[in-house]
Amino acid sequence: AFRALRLSLQELDKYYGNIPQICHRETPLFSDLKLTQSEESEEATTYKAILQADKNAQDHLVVYVKAVQRKYYSLQAQNILYENGRHAPGIIDATDRPGGWLLVYMERLQNHVTLDKFTHTLDNSERDTLKAEIIRLIDFEWSGAVGTACYSHFMNHIAIRWPEGAEDGKKVTVEHNIMLEKTFQKTNLSQDSMLVD
């Protein structure tokens, strides 16, 4: 068995050693977004990144950059939540990268804390009012339109009782969303990863 493993590893080394590189590792080109804000307009330009801070730069917007697999990330879901009450960070830009990756440039949330830390001293009515006004969702992997979005291949089958048909890699249905919403309300799981402004 060990001999077979050693030979297999040698074959894998040969195989991966002969794969052509998609990009040069020494100088990868990432899109860099520079925003200059003024009262009249916002200007966005995309160019080759200089991966260091510009000490002379003024009026720059600090952004988060998230690297995600394009096929699993829903820019549309994030935009819908942003445009309907700013319940998600605004997308400034998104650029395709080799290998199916997507770089998503989004606004940086200022002074955020987790919802549990912020609301633990409030009574129920105050907590409900705040939740409706300040929650911002930040992760849109595995989200999308009904019939197109799929579950992660790493679903938690131990702590969460999933509805029938909700399986790794399978499509999300309306019935699944209704059941999960009820589960989250009963267990307060929806608060674990929420951020507030």
Look at residue 176 and tell me if it is in a domain.
yes
Both 135 and 149 in a single domain? Answer: yes
Is the pLDDT at 166 greater than 50? The verdict is yes
Least confident of 4-8, 74-78, 136-140, 186-190: 186-190
Q: Which long-range contacts (CB under 8 A, 24 or more apart) does 137-141 make?
A: 137/78, 137/81, 137/87, 137/88, 137/194, 138/88, 138/89, 138/109, 138/193, 138/195, 139/193, 140/73, 140/74, 140/75, 140/77, 140/78, 140/88, 141/68, 141/69, 141/72, 141/73, 141/74
Look at residue 2 and tell me if it is in a domain.
no
Number of domains forming the structure of the chain: 2
- The reported pLDDT for the residue numbered 45 is 43
Look at residue 159 and tell me if it is in a domain.
yes
Look at residue 99 and tell me if it is in a domain.
yes
What is the pTM for the complete model shown?
A: 0.49
Alpha-carbon distance of 93 to 196, in angstroms, equals 23
Both 153 and 175 in a single domain? Answer: yes
Structural domain span for residue 133: 111-197
Domain boundary residue, one of 55, 73, 108: 108
Question: pLDDT, tens digit, for every residue of 110-155?
Answer: 766 555 555 555 666 655 555 555 567 777 777 777 778 888 888 8
Both 104 and 120 in a single domain? Answer: no
Both 160 and 193 in a single domain? Answer: yes
Both 30 and 103 in a single domain? Answer: yes
User: How high is the mean pLDDT of the chain?
Assistant: 70
Both 117 and 48 in a single domain? Answer: no
Look at residue 1 and tell me if it is in a domain.
no
Both 140 and 60 in a single domain? Answer: no
Domain boundary residue, one of 108, 133, 165: 108
> Does 41 or 101 have the greater pLDDT score?
101
Both 103 and 43 in a single domain? Answer: yes
Look at residue 70 and tell me if it is in a domain.
yes
The pLDDT of 93-108, averaged and rounded, is 88
- The reported pLDDT for the residue numbered 50 is 37
Look at residue 14 and tell me if it is in a domain.
no
Least confident of 34-43, 95-104, 114-123: 34-43
Is the pLDDT at 49 greater than 70? The verdict is no
Look at residue 178 and tell me if it is in a domain.
yes
